[in-house]
A and B are shown apart, each in its own frame.
Chain A
Amino acid sequence: DAMVIQNPRYQVTQFGKPVTLSCSQTLNHNVMYWYQQKSSQAPKLLFHYYDKDFNNEADTPDNFQSRRPNTSFCFLDIRSPGLGDAAMYLCATSRDDEQYFGPGTRLTVT
């Protein structure tokens, strides 16, 4: 089945220790998105790629970076995680207006 895959599903990192979350897709969609979702809150868009074009949301902290080496893969790098960065990180893809989400990576910062 075509799908959006996120690894790992659960990630524990230490305060200030860089961490990378990965997303892959078999849908061959040209747009990929990263969202941050905290408990009982709406997903918050961090950035998205339209093909290779990177689009950063204005309020996304510099601590968050992203890479998209090819159509299928996209990475979220958190350079120096703080306690406030503990959240669920969701990857999504789309070709048109419908976005399809992966299962998410739950990040814990100790």
Chain B
Amino acid sequence: QKEVEQDPGPLSVPEGAIVSLNCTYSNSAFQYFMWYRQYSRKGPELLMYTYSSGNKEDGRFTAQVDKSSKYISLFIRDSQPSDSATYLCAMSPPSGYSTLTFGKGTMLLVSP
């Protein structure tokens, strides 16, 4: 079993849809959880960063962590064509600084 599992997609939705992206993990030591957005041929861009279970909201984005189920989610409301990208989840144990374990990424396509 891989440490972090993420459905590669592609996930195709119409503009305005609510998008749900998910990752599961097996290492209970992971305490910090991040979502990165990566456009084609660009570097990953940090979108959301959470610590501990619960929700964190930033504009149209909500990150959710359920440590008991080892499951994290990213919700995108009112999706836009500009949201079309690959979304990578990443996580790390508490260590003072991070050595991240990434999921493979989910490709999201939002059509106008």
Contacts and interface: CB of A to CB of B under 8 A. Distances in A.
B92 A104 contact: no
B46 A99 contact: yes
B104 A42 contact: yes
Interface in B1-37: 4, 8, 32, 34, 36
A97 B43 contact: no
A97 B98 contact: yes
Contacts of B99: 45, 48
Given A100-B46, A101-B45, A104-B43, A50 B104 contact: no
Given A90-B43, A98-B34, A104-B42, A42 B103 contact: yes
A40 B4 CA distance: 15
A106 B102 contact: no
B23 to A, nearest CB: 11
Interface string A49-66: 010000000000000000
Interface string A64-108: 000000000000000000000000101000111111111110100
Interface of A: 4, 6, 30-31, 40-43, 45, 48, 50, 88, 90, 94-104, 106
Interface of B: 4, 8, 32, 34, 36, 41-46, 49, 51, 88, 90, 92, 94-100, 102-105
